[in-house]
A and B are shown apart, each in its own frame.
Chain A
Amino acid sequence: MDQLLVQLVDVDKEYINNKALEGEAQYKAALSNVSLRLGAGEFVFLTGPSGAGKSTLLKIVLGLLRPTRGQVQTLGKDLAKLNRWQLRKLRSSIGIIFQNHQLLERLNVADNVAVPLLASSLSRKEKRIRVQQSLEMVQMDVFAKQDVRVLSAGEKQRVGIARALVHQPKLILADEPTGNLDPVSARSLIRMLRELRCYQSSVLIATHDMELVRSFGGRVLEIVGGTCSSVLDKKYRKAYNVPQFWREEAARETEL
C-alpha cells in the first residue's frame, strides 16, 4: 500500500440518544474502535446490516461527521485540523455516489455531471470536455442534453457515477449504489466501478447486497454493531461464504 488515501485509527462515534428513558444510556454508539486503511487503487466493499454504521463511517471519511474519539485522515489530511471551508474543499475532491442517484431534477444530464466542477478553475471548454469524457465512460454521452427526469433508474445511477468521476478524484465513496437497481444493472455498475482501478482511483462501496460482494470479491470490510472487521478475499469466499450478520439473521428467522 504505497499511498494511504483513508486512514481511521480507533475511531468511535456516539450519537446523543434523545429518546433515552430514565436509566437508559444517553449516548448510542454507532462506531466503536474502528481502524481502517485504504490505499490508492483499492476496490473495497463495506458490508453490514442496516444500521450497522456503514453510512456513519462514510460520513466520517467525508468530514460530514466528526468522530467522538480517534483520528481520521482522508487524502492525507487530518480532518480534526480542518475547518468547515477546508472540509468542503476536501469533499469537492472526492467522488460520491448516492443510493438513489440524487441528481438535480431541474437540470439535464450534462449539467448534472458538471456540478462538481462548479468551483474548479477549468475553462468552460475544458469543463465541457471533462463532462463529455465522463459520460462516455459510463456510455451515457448520447443522453447529454436529455432531461434527467426521463431516464431509468439504472441510467440515472450511471449519470451519478459520471458526476463522481468528472473531477478525476483519487477516492470514490459509494453508499448503496445498487440499492434501487435490478441485479443485471447492479452487476454492470459494480463492474464499471471496479474498472476505475486502472485510473488509480480507490473505490469504497457500502452495500448490504451480499450476492454482489460474493460475485465480485476483492477486499471486504464487515461492520456489525459498530465494529469493523476485515475479511480476506480467499477466506471470505470459503469460510465467510455467509457473513456473520446474515448468519445471525438466519438464526433468528429459524427461531421464529
Chain B
Amino acid sequence: MRLSYKIIFRYLSEKFASYSLAFVSLSCLLFFMALLWTVVDNLSVVKIEEAQPTQQESKAGLTVFVNSQLNEQKLKGLVSDLESNKLFKKIEKIDSKDSKDLLVTQFGPDFKDLIQEESMPTVLLGYFKNTNIRRADYQSLLSRLKNDPLILGIDGVIDLNSQSNFLSLSFINWIFSLLIIIFVVATVLIFFVFRSLVENLKTEAGIFHYLGQASWRLFLPLVSIAVALALLSSGAALFMLEYGMQNLLARHLGQFFSSGGALYPLSLQSNLILAAVVLGAALIGVFSCWPAMNRKYEKLF
C-alpha cells in the first residue's frame, strides 16, 4: 500500500499546480454554496412579536412546565441549562400561587378544580433576547425542550406554518436549484481532475494488471486524496465565510436580516451538512473514474 501512495504522491508533486487549482475551485464553489446557505438561514426567521404581542416585556417567549416533585438541585440545574441557551435573555421561576393563577389565565377557570395544590407543576417563563429568531434555532430549541424528561410540557409555541415567511417558495426553490448546480459542478470538477490522473497512470495500472496486483491498490490513494481535497476545501471555505466575508456581508447587507448588524453564523449542523455535500461530490467524482482505472490500462505486450 505504501508503494501505491508513493507513486500517487510523486505524481501529485509533479502536477502540483493543477491540483492546487482544483483545490481553489472547489473551495470557491463551497464558499459560494455556504454563502447562499447563510443568507437563506438568516432570512428564514420566526417573528416572536408578531405571534405574541401581549407578552410581558414584549419578548417573553415560552412557558415551560416542570414536575413539582423535582428536587431543588435538579430544578436549579434545569434553569441554568435553559439560561445558557443563547436565545434566552432570562428564565423566571413562578411560585406556586402565581403559577396557579397563570395556568387559570391560560387554560380557563375550570382548570382550578382539576388539579390539586400539591401536584401543581412548577412553571418557568423563558424570555427571548431578540424579537426575531432563526427558524433553525427556534426548532432546535423546541425539540431540545420536548425531549427533556424533566419537562412536562411547553406552552406559547409559535405555529411556524401560520407565520408569513420572508422567503417566498419560488426563491427557496431557486436557491435549492443553485445548490444542486453547484453540487453537480463540484462533482464534475473532481471527476475531471481524477480522470486526468487516471489517464496519466495508465502505465502503472498496466504494470499492476500484468503483475497480478489489484487495481484498487492504485485507486485507494486517489480516494484518500479526493477525501482530503474535499475536507481541506470545505475547511478553507467555511473558515473564509466565518471570519472573512461574514463581516463584509453583514456590513453591506446586514439591514436586510433579522439580526441587524451581524449575521448569524452557520450552525454546526449546517457546516457539517455542507462538508458532507462536498465529500459526497468528491466521492462520486472519484468513484466515477473506477471503470476507467480498470479498463484503460496500457497494453504492455
Q: What is A's interface to B at a CB cutoff of 8 Å?
A: 55, 58-59, 62, 64, 88-94, 96, 98-99, 102, 104, 106-107, 111, 114-116, 118-119, 163, 175-176
Q: How far is the CA of A159 from the CA of B277 in the complex (A)?
A: 46
Residue of A nearest to B213 (CB): A118
Give chain B residues whose Cβ lies under 8 Å from the Cβ of A58. Answer: 301
Q: How far is the CA of A171 from the CA of B207 in the complex (A)?
A: 18
Contact indicator B212/A106 (Cβ below 8 Å): no
Q: How far is the CA of A175 from the CA of B217 in the complex (A)?
A: 25
Q: Which of A55, A91, A99, A104 contacts B212 (CB 8 A)?
A: A91
Give, as a whole number of angstroms, the nearest-CB distance from A132 to chain B: 16
Contact indicator B211/A107 (Cβ below 8 Å): no
Contact indicator B3/A115 (Cβ below 8 Å): yes
Give, as a whole number of angstroms, the nearest-CB distance from B219 to chain A: 13
Contact indicator B213/A64 (Cβ below 8 Å): no
Binary per-residue interface labels of chain B (1-13) against chain A in the complex, 1 for a CB within 8 Å, 0 otherwise: 1011011001100
- Beyond A106-B7, A107-B7, A118-B3, is A98–B301 a contact (Cβ under 8 Å)? yes
Give chain A residues whose Cβ lies under 8 Å from the Cβ of B178. Answer: none
Contact indicator B301/A118 (Cβ below 8 Å): no
Contact indicator B214/A88 (Cβ below 8 Å): yes
The B191-214 residues at the A interface (CB cut-off 8 A) are 203-204, 206-208, 210-214
Contact indicator B300/A98 (Cβ below 8 Å): yes
- Number of chain B residues close to chain A: CB under 8 A: 20
Give chain B residues whose Cβ lies under 8 Å from the Cβ of A96. Answer: 210-211
Contact indicator B210/A64 (Cβ below 8 Å): yes
Give chain A residues whose Cβ lies under 8 Å from the Cβ of B10. Answer: 106-107
Give chain B residues whose Cβ lies under 8 Å from the Cβ of A62. Answer: 210
A-B contacts, CB under 8 A, total: 65
* A-B pairs with beta carbons under 8 Å apart, 6 shown: A58-B301, A59-B301, A88-B213, A96-B210, A107-B3, A176-B301
Give, as a whole number of angstroms, the nearest-CB distance from A62 to chain B: 7
Give chain A residues whose Cβ lies under 8 Å from the Cβ of B211. Answer: 91-92, 96, 115-116, 163
List 11 additional contacts besides A102-B206, A106-B6, A106-B7; criterion CB under 8 Å. Answer: A90-B212, A98-B301, A99-B301, A102-B300, A107-B7, A107-B10, A115-B208, A116-B213, A118-B3, A118-B217, A176-B301
Q: How far is the CA of A84 from the CA of B208 in the complex (A)?
A: 14
Give chain B residues whose Cβ lies under 8 Å from the Cβ of A91. Answer: 210-212
Give chain A residues whose Cβ lies under 8 Å from the Cβ of B203. Answer: 102, 104
Give chain A residues whose Cβ lies under 8 Å from the Cβ of B204. Answer: 104, 106
Q: Could you say which of A89, A96, A114, A163 has the most chain B C-beta atoms within 10 Å of its C-beta?
A: A96
Q: How far is the CA of A92 from the CA of B217 in the complex (A)?
A: 14
Give chain B residues whose Cβ lies under 8 Å from the Cβ of A106. Answer: 6-7, 10-11, 204
The B1-56 residues at the A interface (CB cut-off 8 A) are 1, 3-4, 6-7, 10-11
Give, as a whole number of angstroms, the nearest-CB distance from A189 to chain B: 17
Give chain B residues whose Cβ lies under 8 Å from the Cβ of A114. Answer: 3
Contact indicator B212/A102 (Cβ below 8 Å): no
Q: How far is the CA of A115 from the CA of B215 in the complex (A)?
A: 12
Residue of B nearest to A114 (CB): B3
Q: Could you say which of A55, A91, A106, A116 has the most chain B C-beta atoms within 10 Å of its C-beta?
A: A106
Give, as a whole number of angstroms, the nearest-CB distance from B269 to chain A: 42
Q: How far is the CA of A91 from the CA of B206 in the complex (A)?
A: 13
Q: How far is the CA of A55 from the CA of B1 in the complex (A)?
A: 30
Give, as a whole number of angstroms, the nearest-CB distance from B129 to chain A: 59
Contact indicator B301/A55 (Cβ below 8 Å): yes
- Beyond A58-B301, A102-B203, A106-B10, is A88–B3 a contact (Cβ under 8 Å)? no
Listed from nearest, the 6 A-B pairs whose CB atoms lie closest are A92-B212, A91-B212, A106-B10, A175-B301, A55-B301, A88-B212
- Beyond A55-B301, A58-B301, A111-B3, is A102–B207 a contact (Cβ under 8 Å)? yes
Binary per-residue interface labels of chain B (285-301) against chain A in the complex, 1 for a CB within 8 Å, 0 otherwise: 00000000000000011
Give, as a whole number of angstroms, the nearest-CB distance from B197 to chain A: 13
Q: How far is the CA of A175 from the CA of B208 in the complex (A)?
A: 17
Give chain A residues whose Cβ lies under 8 Å from the Cβ of B11. Answer: 106
Give, as a whole number of angstroms, the nearest-CB distance from A134 to chain B: 14
Q: How far is the CA of A58 from the CA of B301 in the complex (A)?
A: 9
